[in-house]
Amino acid sequence: MKLQALPIFMVAFVASTHATLSPEIYWKVKLPNTQIPKVIKNFLPQPELKQDNTNTKEKVYYGLNQAGYGLNQAGYGLNQAGYGSISWHRAATEDEIGQFTTNKITLKQYFIFKKDLEKGNRINFPTLLNNNKAPFLPRQFVESIPFSMEKFSEILNHFFIDSKSKDAQAIEKTIKLCEEPEVKHKEKKTCATSLESMVDFALSVLGTNKIVAITSEVQGETQKSQRYTIEEVQQVADGDTMVCHKLNYAYALHYCHFARSTKTFMVSMVGANGIKVKAVSVCHKDASFWNPKALPFVVLKVKPGTTPICHFLKDDQILFVPSETAT
Q: Angle between the 23-30 and 195-206 helix axes, to the nearest 10 degrees?
A: 20
CA angle, 174 then 180 then 185, to 5°:
140
Cα 183 from chain centroid? Answer: 19
In a domain? residue 90:
yes
> Looking at the domain assignment, is residue 312 inside a domain?
yes
Handedness of CA 46, 67, 267, 219 (dihedral sign): negative
* 171 assigned to some structural domain: yes
Query: d(Cα 22, Cα 35) in Å, to the nearest integer?
Result: 16
Q: For residue 261, give every residue at least 6 positions away whose Cβ sits within 8 Å of its Cβ, in sequence order, or none.
A: 239, 284, 285, 286
For the chain, the domain total comes to 1
In a domain, 327, yes or no: no
Question: Of 246, 237, 227, which is closest to residue 206 (Cα–Cα)?
Answer: 237
Residue 1 lies in a domain: no
Question: Is 3 among the domain residues?
Answer: no
Flag whether 94 is in a domain.
yes
The answer to whether position 220 is within a domain reads yes
Cα–Cα distance, 327 to 212 (Å, whole number):
8
pTM here is: 0.81
Domain interval for residue 220? 8-322
Asked if 215 and 313 count as a contact pair (C-beta separation under 8 A), the reply is yes
Sequential pLDDT tens for the chain (327 residues): 444 444 444 444 443 444 478 999 999 999 998 999 999 999 997 655 443 333 335 689 887 654 333 333 333 333 332 223 335 556 666 665 665 544 444 445 567 888 889 999 998 877 888 878 999 999 999 999 999 999 999 999 999 999 999 999 999 999 999 998 876 656 789 999 999 999 999 999 999 999 999 999 988 766 677 889 999 999 999 989 999 999 999 999 999 999 888 999 999 999 888 889 999 999 988 877 777 777 777 777 888 778 888 888 988 899 999 987 655
